[in-house]
Structure 1
């Protein structure tokens, strides 16, 4: 799990990063709200931890920006010295999912983060995932459409799994390259465009099968479930070209 931390006190930020690393969580720390917002808009994070009092804006303002700009309900935890009931209510009303006062007990912080992660990704512990006519077997790394196995490359599988687990969420090209290809610097985003075009055909992503991959101009892609999609039927016309 990848976490973005907003904390302007470097020693505290380092302590939190070290704690999260013990659970194999990757944590990037930011000292200002602007740097934090820029990062979460262009990179892929699974959970956010916010301080309230930071140099350039309040944590509440950062949270409101996150909820306005991001198109999926990423879990957000406030970790701050402000502990009045009024502050807790204000943060929760603004869209926070949890609230802890500093200094947080390490075991409790990890437990809260783990609970939010499980709640936001309920399918993450399952071996087989079903999305309409698509069945994804994580252990065997196979995908079936209408019970027929598709012929896909390893990268096809990784990209498909990431798309379905994040359906409805805008995924920038940078996010996809980072999470699927493991690349972060000096990368050509045309790699994603080429692969996505080919994947549409290989998977049979079309209204008849209940999903579409929408291209968001100059930003990335979003897998969307189709509303009022035709009833799923399997005919010869539905056969998917192999990866060969």
Structure 2
């Protein structure tokens, strides 16, 4: 059973979310503050963390920042802060998704299931090689030369989609629908934030990125030749 830690101080919302997710087969535990969340995750990491930003003892973004280096599960922000600045910052800090409140429980469930589907082993998965870059699609391990590249779940998902389509331009709409299961609304910045993080981790730090290229007005292109 997939385990979820809900970090939420709103009793009414927490009760609603917990009942709905439990009814749909999830094991849900709830804490009300960041300190308790940090302790629980350190002792028994859940498969998914649903994190509110407006916690009584700390800002949820600070908790996200401190959790991400060690926590390897899905980290989804669930917040009433719907502005672009908070969404981009949350994603830059390593959140796998940013879900704005109020959210319909059915939509929340669909988003979580979409993430989990991408984590299921693919019997046809193999290893993609691009020069010194090695992407193991089965184990979800990435190495660059002799160094392991630590990627979040959402970063690996994006890299695998781009690498499987090396040499082809993928629009934001195509990427968004593939990774999130819903159409791009023209406003969400999560794809751009993930590309930015991937470039840093893969050493694609020139003024103009050469390994994951931005094709103005069209989308992103994973350049096979740039790795040779």
Distance 2:29 2:74 in 1: 16
Distance 2:6 2:91 in 1: 18
Aligned to 1:65: 66
Aligned length: 131
In our comparison, the structure showing a higher alpha carbon Rg is 1
Aligned to 1:122: 120
Distance 2:22 2:139 in 1: 24
Aligned to 2:101: 102
Q: Structure 1, residues 118-174: CA drift from partner, whole Å, max 9, x if none?
A: 22x222x86x999xxxxxxxxxxxxxxxxxxxxxxxxxxxxxxxxx98999xxxxxx
Secondary structure of 1:96's match? coil
Aligned to 1:6: 7
Distance 1:94 1:57 in 2: 16
Q: Structure 1, residues 171-211: CA drift from partner, whole Å, max 9, x if none?
A: xxxxxxxxxxxxxxxxxxxxxxxxxxxxxxxxxxxxxxxxx
Q: Structure 1, residues 81-102: CA drift from partner, whole Å, max 9, x if none?
A: 1100111111111111111111
Distance 1:17 1:111 in 2: 15
Distance 2:7 2:33 in 1: 7
Distance 2:81 2:75 in 1: 16
TM-score w.r.t. structure 2 length?
0.52
Matches for 1:157-196 after TM superposition, within 5 Å: none
User: Contact 1:52 / 1:78 at 8 angstroms: preserved in 2?
Assistant: yes
User: Contact 1:46 / 1:117 at 8 angstroms: preserved in 2?
Assistant: no
User: Contact 1:53 / 1:59 at 8 angstroms: preserved in 2?
Assistant: yes
Distance 1:165 1:2, change over 3 A: farther
Distance 1:91 1:16 in 2: 21
Aligned to 1:21: 22
TM-score w.r.t. structure 1 length?
0.49
Aligned to 2:110: 111
User: Please, which runs of 5 or more residues in structure 1 have no aligned partner?
Assistant: 131-163, 169-244
Distance 1:166 1:6 in 2: 27
User: Please, which runs of 5 or more residues in structure 2 have no aligned partner?
Assistant: 127-137, 142-147, 149-228
User: Contact 1:47 / 1:117 at 8 angstroms: preserved in 2?
Assistant: no
